[in-house]
Amino acid sequence: MPGRLGVWLALVSLSLGLVVLGETALAQRVQLDRVIAIVDDDVVLQSELDARVIEITQSAARANQPLPSNEELRSDVLDALVIENIQMQLAERISIRFDDDTINRILGNMAANNNMSFDKYVSLLEENGVYLLTREQVRKQMTVQELQRGMVNRRITITDQEIENFLNSEMGKEAIAATYFIDHILIASGAEDTPEVKSSKLKYAADLALRIIEGEDFLAARSAASSAGRYQVSGTEFGWRKANELPQLFTDIVTEMTLGEIEGPIEAGNGYHIIRLAGKEGGTDQMVSQTNLRHIMLVANEIRTDEQTRAAIEELRQKIVAGDNFATLARQNSDDASSVVGGGDLDWINDGGMPPEMQAVVDTMEIGELSEPFKTETGWHITEVLGRRIQDLSRDYTHNQAENALRDRKFDLELENWLIEIREKAFVVLID
């Protein structure tokens, strides 16, 4: 590799030193940084190693976690930096890049997780002198994750037989079982309560459940009942759980509830319970609302302004209203390459599977209705609803769930193998 070797020799001799001319005009080398590894067409710097070691040391101290000896730690970190460098070069070659808007969205999420506004979070990073470093770390992490996802997943094969075996296993049944989020109220009662008191508490619980069924907010009703102090009223925050992870009292009840349904009072040894099914995810029962529609999309460009684009889509709408064929106009005019051949037909789309602006328009339309022009992030549209249906996607859903679970199980091992392979193929020279 003569090109790489030439770069290596030049970098070793330079070692990123700085020449400073003094009053005697004699050159004095002041080493600010140095190359500690040549990695294909790039390098790893001493400053990168030092910064990463400090970062890991501080994180371990905060978490009270032990670390290996300094020599072993630095060796491990250098190996990780080399692997990271190889991956970043691979990502650059296949054009994996994330723009500033994407990085800003990630920083916005980080700000929200820290209960801060975006501007306040950025200001805090700037005050600590790590804003640019944080942006670069986020960009690098996203790039490496995207590269790994693409390169490793293509190496993983999941057969239909593997999927069937997984679905029939206890592990598979557990993995695809639904998870539930329930809101809960308990009106406490115990053995010390007289029959009259128990009857009164039962009636109180029934009245509370009825108010909620009739529209009172569940959590607000619980808070008000607790504050009123007539009886001891509380609630447990269960979070997301499988049915078998819920109290046995609720297990069979919850699996039969529909989203938003209220059950109670449910009598138990500790009192009277009221529950609401506030959320459900997964499971084998996947009945999905779908809409079949077609559209024409026009996009503003160098020769057509946004206003001209809107006028053009309105003109197409008027032609359809006057009797022109929708599919023909779509094939001749639409800028949506994915649907233009099919005359604008987008086939059946699951609710929530289209851009929010389009979903909002489609939700208000009748079958056979042609929309007014509307705009999304991709351009100006007119759309026609061709049909609606409820589709049972249970088999497809469980198949996909099983495939994803199997892929997740294989991913880490395949990632490790891939990292070993790219490390062995790379041109790497460590410099003492």
| HEC per residue, the chain | CHHHHHHHHHHHHHCCEEEEECCCCCEEEEECCCEEEEECCEEEEHHHHHHHHHHHHHHHHHCCCCCCCHHHHHHHHHHHHHHHHHHHHHHHHCCCCCCHHHHHHHHHHHHHHCCCCHHHHHHHHHHCCCHHHHHHHHHHHHHHHHHHHHHHHCCCCCCHHHHHHHHHCHHHHHHHCCEEEEEEEEEECCCCCCHHHHHHHHHHHHHHHHHHHCCCCHHHHHHHHHHHCCCCEECCCCCEEEHHHCCHHHHHHHHCCCCCCEEEEEEECCEEEEEEEEEEECCCCCEEEEEEEEEEEECCECCECHHHHHHHHHHHHHHHHCCCCHHHHHHHHCCCCCCCCCCCEEEEEECCCCCHHHHHHHCCCCCCCECCCEEECCEEEEEEEEEEEEEECHHHHHHHHHHHHHHHHHHHHHHHHHHHHHHHHCCEEECC
**Position 5 pLDDT exceeds 60:** no
* Type of residue numbered 182: I
- The pLDDT, as a whole number, for residue 44 is 94
Q: Does domain 178-281 have CATH number 3.10.129.10?
A: no
Of the two residues 282 and 125, the one the predictor is more confident about is 125
- The pLDDT, as a whole number, for residue 394 is 75
Domain ranges of the chain: 1-70, 100-148, 178-281, 287-392
Q: Per-residue pLDDT averaged across 202-230, rounded?
A: 94
- The pLDDT, as a whole number, for residue 27 is 41
- The pLDDT, as a whole number, for residue 8 is 39
Q: Which helix (H) or strand (E) holds 267?
A: strand 262-268
List CB contacts of 95: < 8 A, sequence separation 6 or more.
Answer: none
pLDDT digits (tens, 9 = 90+) for 392-418: 777 888 888 889 989 999 999 999 999
- The pLDDT, as a whole number, for residue 432 is 80
- The pLDDT, as a whole number, for residue 176 is 81
Percent of the chain at pLDDT > 70 equals: 92
- The pLDDT, as a whole number, for residue 92 is 95
Among 260, 110, 271, 241, smallest CA distance to 178 is for 241
Q: Per-residue pLDDT averaged across 156-167, rounded?
A: 92
- The pLDDT, as a whole number, for residue 174 is 80
Give residue for tokens 């970062």: 55
- The pLDDT, as a whole number, for residue 416 is 95
Q: Does domain 287-392 have CATH number 3.10.50.40?
A: yes
Q: Per-residue pLDDT averaged across 10-35, rounded?
A: 46
Token pair, residue 210, equals 């009825």
In the structure, what pLDDT confidence band is assigned to residue 171 with cuts at 50, 70 and 90? Answer: confident
Q: Per-residue pLDDT averaged across 329-358, rounded?
A: 93
Q: Per-residue pLDDT averaged across 124-131, rounded?
A: 91
Q: Per-residue pLDDT averaged across 293-300, rounded?
A: 96
- The pLDDT, as a whole number, for residue 351 is 87
Least confident of 24-38, 69-83, 227-241, 296-310: 24-38
- The pLDDT, as a whole number, for residue 31 is 54
**Position 222 pLDDT exceeds 90:** yes
Q: Per-residue pLDDT averaged across 101-112, rounded?
A: 91
CA dihedral 219, 225, 229, 231 (to 10 degrees): -110
**Position 253 pLDDT exceeds 90:** yes
- The pLDDT, as a whole number, for residue 196 is 95
**Position 40 pLDDT exceeds 70:** yes
Average pLDDT, the chain: 89
Q: Per-residue pLDDT averaged across 133-153, rounded?
A: 94
- The pLDDT, as a whole number, for residue 10 is 37
How many Cα neighbours within 13 Å face the side chain of 34? 10
- The pLDDT, as a whole number, for residue 365 is 95
Q: Per-residue pLDDT averaged across 137-166, rounded?
A: 94
In the structure, what pLDDT confidence band is assigned to residue 373 with cuts at 50, 70 and 90? Answer: very high
